[in-house]
């Protein structure tokens, strides 16, 4: 913990089903997907620990037991982890309220709440400082994006006070959106009704604002990415590998390629763009792999061309296959010569014979 800082607590929301990332999330919750060589949450743990957070409460629902199997007591991350489980998913607000059972802070203490699917370079300590200085009920991290309609749009006044919380509106009034990191005054969490399905974005924040509570915005322009879609997941992993977002959890130094233990890349193959070659994965002669994530034991055949894709664990990509923006689940077999593009997703265990050939003008 940085010197002179008090011990802080955080709640991490990790109970979502990650439907947009299927089929990757069928067997593995989104926060545990291998990202730049480690489970996604390891990057958030490193960031939390660097901000002086010593105790993390994981709010689990979907495939809850996998989290404790993966992270244990948290000591390996310099944290203490408490697991709180929802028998039925309670939504983001209900999950925060439920997780309060694991907190130790007093009613006036700041509690950091993080969505378990966001990569961010913002300074959590500065967000907490603003929260304290303004004595806010909640302080929200805000970022500007080009397409705010997909997110919660959050206008503020000249003093930084949030004036409305407009969840996924077709006509956003500002490009500033909810970035998924909140600092709550502990007592505000305790006021959320317990045991109910509640969205913090649709209910808790709008209710606080209409009741006149001080909700502050902490705008920031550093790196930010919601990794909820396959394209964003691939981008986030590549950005971490290349060092576009620094992470204390990255295994090794940033570079164009991250090859994990036992990975084998033929010297004539080209692997670049922040690609991860998972443990025991293979890339054969003359293959070209760019900006992709190869899970453990994946295999890329000779002369294949793979870009912007996720290749599941144990999946075999045949010789000369072309993959562009594709998600292949675990243990998929793609026969030589296939060409798969444009957001195609293949469920685990499938075998694709020759489904598509390239036509040329002289064919
Ligand atoms: P999609 O189904 O693809 O939208 O993903 P998701 O299920 O993760 O939902 P979303 O991205 O909206 O969730 C934002 C964050 O809140 C993620 O970190 C989720 O894990 C978490 N989350 C969403 N719903 C719940 C819930 O009911 N309980 C808990 N504990 N966490 C939740």
pLDDT by 10s per residue, the chain, length 363: 454 456 799 999 999 999 999 999 999 999 999 999 999 999 999 999 999 999 999 999 999 999 999 999 999 999 999 999 999 999 999 999 999 999 999 999 999 999 999 999 999 999 999 999 999 999 999 999 988 888 878 999 999 999 998 877 778 888 999 999 999 999 999 999 999 999 999 999 999 999 999 999 999 999 999 999 999 999 999 999 999 999 999 999 999 999 999 999 999 999 999 999 999 999 999 999 999 999 999 999 999 999 999 999 999 999 999 999 999 999 999 999 999 998 899 999 999 987 655 554 443
d(C-alpha 324, C-alpha 305), whole Å = 8
Closest CA to 301 of 320, 315, 314: 320
Looking at CATH, the fold of the domain delimited by 256-352 is given as: UDP N-Acetylglucosamine Acyltransferase; domain 1 (2.160.10)
Parallel/antiparallel/unpaired status of strands 138-144 and 215-219: parallel
Domain ranges of the chain: 8-226, 256-352
17 lines ligand 1 (CB under 6 A): yes
14 lines ligand 1 (CB under 6 A): yes
Looking at CATH, the fold of the domain delimited by 8-226 is given as: Spore Coat Polysaccharide Biosynthesis Protein SpsA; Chain A (3.90.550)
Q: Which of 12, 15, 90, 120 to mutate to test the pocket of ligand 1 (most atoms within 8 A of CB)?
A: 15
d(C-alpha 207, C-alpha 46), whole Å = 33
CB 226 within 8 A of CB 114: no
Q: DSSP characters for 271-331?
A: EETTEEE-TT-EE-TT-EEES-EE-TT-EE-TT-EEES-EE-TT-EE-TT-EEES-EE-TT
Model confidence, pTM: 0.93
- The count of other CB atoms within 10 Å of the CB of residue 276 is 32
d(C-alpha 96, C-alpha 6), whole Å = 22
Nearest residue (CA) to ligand 1, atom 31: 15
d(C-alpha 174, C-alpha 163), whole Å = 12
90 lines ligand 1 (CB under 6 A): yes
Tell me, in angstroms, the distance from the centre of ligand 1 to residue 67's CA.
Answer: 15
Tell me, in angstroms, the distance from the centre of ligand 1 to residue 96's CA.
Answer: 12
Secondary structure class of 192 (helix, strand, coil): coil
Contacts of 226 (CB under 8 A, 6+ apart): 115, 117, 118, 151, 180, 232
Token pair 């939504």: residue:
91
- Write out the two tokens for 228: 């909820």
d(C-alpha 317, C-alpha 335), whole Å = 7
CB 82 within 8 A of CB 57: yes
Contacts of 18 (CB under 8 A, 6+ apart): 24, 25, 29, 30, 62, 117, 228
- Write out the two tokens for 237: 């992993």
Tell me, in angstroms, the distance from the centre of ligand 1 to residue 76's CA.
Answer: 25
91 lines ligand 1 (CB under 6 A): yes
């Amino acid at each position: 913990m940085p010197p002179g800082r008090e011990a802080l607590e955080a709640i991490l929301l990790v109970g979502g089903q990650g439907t947009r990332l299927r089929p990757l999330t069928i067997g593995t919750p989104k926060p545990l997907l291998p990202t730049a060589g480690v489970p996604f949450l390891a990057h958030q743990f490193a960031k939390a620990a660097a901000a002086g957070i010593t105790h993390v409460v994981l709010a689990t629902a979907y495939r809850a037991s996998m989290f404790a199997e993966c992270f244990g007591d948290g000591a390996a991350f310099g944290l203490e982890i408490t697991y709180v489980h929802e028998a039925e998913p309670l939504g983001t607000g209900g999950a925060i309220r439920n997780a309060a059972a694991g907190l130790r802070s007093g009613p006036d203490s700041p509690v950091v709440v993080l969505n378990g699917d966001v990569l961010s370079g913002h300074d959590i300590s500065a967000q907490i400082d603003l929260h304290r200085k303004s004595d806010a009920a909640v302080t929200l991290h805000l970022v500007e994006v080009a397409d705010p309609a997909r997110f919660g749009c959050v206008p503020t006044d000249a003093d930084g006070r949030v004036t409305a919380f407009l969840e996924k509106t077709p006509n956003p009034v500002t490009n500033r959106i909810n970035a998924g990191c909140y600092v709550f005054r502990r007592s505000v969490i305790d006021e959320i009704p317990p045991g109910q399905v509640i969205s913090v974005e649709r209910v808790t924040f709008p209710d606080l604002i209409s009741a006149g509570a001080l909700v502050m915005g902490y705008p920031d322009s550093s790196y930010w990415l919601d990794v909820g879609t396959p394209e964003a997941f691939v981008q986030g992993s590549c950005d971490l590998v290349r060092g576009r977002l620094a992470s204390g959890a990255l295994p090794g130094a940033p570079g164009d390629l991250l090859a994990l233990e036992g990975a084998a890349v033929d010297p004539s193959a080209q692997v670049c763009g922040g690609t991860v070659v998972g443990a025991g994965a293979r890339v054969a002669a003359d293959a070209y792999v760019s900006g992709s994530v190869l899970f453990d034991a994946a295999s890329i055949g000779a002369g294949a061309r793979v870009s912007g894709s996720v290749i599941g664990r144990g999946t075999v990509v045949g010789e000369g296959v072309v993959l562009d923006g594709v998600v292949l689940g675990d243990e998929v077999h793609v026969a030589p010569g296939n060409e798969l593009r444009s957001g195609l997703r293949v469920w685990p265990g499938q075998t694709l014979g020759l489904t598509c050939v390239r036509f040329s003008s002289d064919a």
